[in-house]
């Protein structure tokens, strides 16, 4: 894992740009040599005639990355080919040459076109032509270099983007990930943003474990998850448990809404230094065959490379029980569940699922959880702690406010109490006052109970 990222200074920005320019000049030389030898039908030892430039880590973020990763010359050319459309798109214009015999472009050059970009976008086929020419043995080596388990793809540095599953392997667009493009340009890593191609959101919180009020037994179960994250290398490598234990950790959080499931997932990431991404199920699930699997694959692939924690809220919507097969829609829905089951089982990271009802989760998933944690509604003493912590020391309370009474009389979750305090605070300010009254809190409680369909 590359750890040497640091924001570039003005001096290192210049050095980084000069380094990238030398690399792109090398790429242009390699393209020229390959095209010349191909059309002249001459043998070519590409890397002997165009050896890669020497790099020093001090030359900027790109050079530091290449040196630390010890990339081979072929890996560098793959990376540069993916970077070229962003940094020097005209460098690839040579591939637009047409085959006069057929009146069309050369199939062996690969490439892709989009509506917005007028330049040549390289594909894996372009990479195979550059590195192998017409040599089939070298072409097979390139195909091996582009397999998912290879470092450039395993760590999501470069991506292969297919339009459909039945296309030839090398027809996929060759792209550099947004995270590493940002790294090579500025020296900083860009966290992915939510969009139609990335249906997940980063979870953050200003709160800490001291703000989470849960039973002691539940906190002990949570400690096992953080323990796995902090000591998995020791368990799997030093203790050699990888022979009998599959990598990864899967846990189900279940219980009433507002009892701390999402906050717990966020705090686990906060403690262990791992980003927690909540999967947007509405964006993942598609009525089109294959799209749901494609959407999820994109998230799982990036999560594995970046060591994220994946959090599926309201998981029963996606991981629910498989139905009896009566039509094609049922069969497809069951295929989705089976696909998810396999991806989660093979995912080497941590997956947390949250559901209001344990019974809604498919039993095939349940058997594969390492932990199933029940988040109950808080008891009286826990409710009193929650009232005190949510209100904090910055909120002025009128003399009639009785938190002990509220804790005894009203069975509310922590999430519901937060909504009550929000309502009471707004009501206080609208009244022109600066202290919350008992009546403000009681009205907020009434609103929450109505929302939950309870008698007031």
Q: What is the pLDDT of residue 455?
A: 56
Whether residue 5 lies inside any domain: the answer is no
Whether residue 1 lies inside any domain: the answer is no
Are both 72 and 165 inside the same structural domain? yes
Please give the Cα distance from 341 to 422 (Å, whole number). 39
For 211, left (φ over 0), alpha (ψ -120 to 50), or beta? alpha
Are both 145 and 61 inside the same structural domain? yes
Q: Which residues contact 11 (CB under 8 A, 6 or more apart)?
A: none
Are both 358 and 436 inside the same structural domain? no
Degrees (nearest 5) of the Cα angle 382, 387, 391? Answer: 145
Please give the Cα distance from 84 to 130 (Å, whole number). 14
- How many domains does the chain fold into? 3
Are both 231 and 340 inside the same structural domain? yes
Are both 90 and 210 inside the same structural domain? no
Whether residue 18 lies inside any domain: the answer is yes
Are both 49 and 175 inside the same structural domain? yes
Q: What is the pLDDT of residue 345?
A: 83
Contact 437, 400 (CB under 8 A): yes
Please give the Cα distance from 149 to 147 (Å, whole number). 6
Q: What is the pLDDT of residue 6?
A: 54
Domain harbouring 323, CATH code: 3.40.50.300
Reported as a single tens digit per residue, the pLDDT across 142-193 is 999 999 889 999 888 999 988 777 789 999 999 998 889 999 998 887 677 6
Q: What is the pLDDT of residue 4?
A: 47
Are both 249 and 179 inside the same structural domain? no
Q: What is the pLDDT of residue 314?
A: 79
- Identify the segments of the chain with pLDDT beneath 70: 1-11, 190, 193-197, 281-292, 317-337, 362, 364-365, 454-456
Whether residue 195 lies inside any domain: the answer is no
Are both 398 and 307 inside the same structural domain? no
Domain carrying residue 237? 200-374
Contact 67, 56 (CB under 8 A): yes
Radius of gyration of the chain (CA): 28
Whether residue 194 lies inside any domain: the answer is no
Q: What is the pLDDT of residue 145?
A: 96
Whether residue 247 lies inside any domain: the answer is yes
Are both 221 and 331 inside the same structural domain? yes
Are both 296 and 147 inside the same structural domain? no
Whether residue 192 lies inside any domain: the answer is no
Are both 158 and 207 inside the same structural domain? no
Domain harbouring 427, CATH code: 1.10.8.60
Please report the DSSP string for 38-64 in residue order.
Answer: HHTT----HHHHSPPPP--GGG-HHHH
Reported as a single tens digit per residue, the pLDDT across 382-394 is 999 999 999 998 9
| Final residue before a domain boundary, out of 327, 343, 374 | 374
**pTM of the predicted model, to two decimals?**
0.72
Q: Which residues contact 34 (CB under 8 A, 6 or more apart)?
A: 44, 46, 129, 130, 133
| Final residue before a domain boundary, out of 326, 358, 374 | 374
Whether residue 191 lies inside any domain: the answer is no
Q: What is the pLDDT of residue 1?
A: 45
| Final residue before a domain boundary, out of 374, 389, 405 | 374
Are both 182 and 229 inside the same structural domain? no
């Amino acid at each position: 894992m590359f750890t040497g990222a640091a924001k570039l200074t003005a001096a290192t920005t210049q050095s980084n740009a000069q380094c990238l320019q030398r690399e792109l000049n090398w790429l242009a030389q390699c393209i020229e040599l390959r095209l010349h030898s191909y059309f002249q039908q001459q043998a070519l030892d590409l890397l002997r005639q165009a050896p890669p430039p020497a790099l020093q880590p001090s030359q900027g973020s790109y050079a530091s990355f290449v040196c630390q990763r010890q990339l081979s010359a072929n890996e560098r050319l793959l990376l540069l080919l993916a970077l070229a459309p962003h940094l020097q798109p005209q460098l690839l214009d040579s591939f637009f040459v047409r085959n006069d015999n057929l009146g069309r472009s050369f199939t062996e050059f690969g490439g892709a076109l989009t509506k917005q970009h007028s330049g040549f976008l390289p594909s894996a086929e372009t990479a195979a032509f550059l590195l192998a020419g017409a040599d089939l043995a070298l072409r097979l080596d390139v195909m091996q270099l582009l397999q998912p388990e290879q470092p450039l793809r395993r760590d999501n540095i470069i991506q292969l983007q297919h339009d459909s599953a039945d296309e030839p392997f090398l027809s996929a667009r060759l792209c550099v990930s947004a995270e590493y493009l940002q790294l090579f340009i500025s020296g900083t890593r860009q966290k992915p943003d939510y969009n139609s191609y990335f249906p997940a959101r980063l979870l953050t919180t200003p709160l800490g474990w001291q703000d989470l009020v849960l039973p002691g037994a539940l906190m002990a179960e949570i400690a096992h998850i953080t323990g796995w994250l902090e000591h998995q290398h020791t368990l799997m490598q030093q203790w050699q448990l990888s022979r009998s234990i599959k990598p990864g950790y899967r846990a189900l959080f279940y219980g009433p809404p507002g009892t701390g499931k999402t906050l717990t997932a966020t705090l686990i990431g906060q403690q262990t230094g791992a980003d927690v991404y909540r999967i947007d199920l509405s964006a993942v699930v598609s009525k089109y065959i294959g799209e749901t699997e494609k959407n999820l694959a994109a998230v799982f692939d990036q999560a594995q490379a970046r060591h994220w924690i994946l959090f599926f809220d309201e998981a029963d919507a996606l991981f629910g029980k498989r139905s009896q097969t009566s039509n094609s829609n049922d069969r497809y829905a069951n295929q989705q569940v089976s696909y998810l089951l396999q991806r989660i089982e093979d995912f080497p990271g941590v997956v947390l699922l949250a559901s209001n009802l344990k019974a809604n989760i498919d039993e095939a998933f349940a058997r594969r959880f390492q932990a199933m944690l029940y988040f109950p509604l808080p008891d009286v003493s826990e409710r009193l702690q929650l009232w005190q912590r949510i209100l904090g020391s910055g909120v002025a309370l009128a003399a009639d406010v009785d938190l002990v009474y509220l804790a005894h009389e009203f069975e509310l979750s922590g999430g519901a109490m937060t909504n009550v305090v929000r309502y009471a605070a707004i009501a206080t300010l609208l009244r022109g006052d600066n202290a919350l009254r008992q009546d403000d809190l009681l009205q907020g409680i009434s609103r929450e109970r109505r929302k939950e369909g309870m008698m007031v």
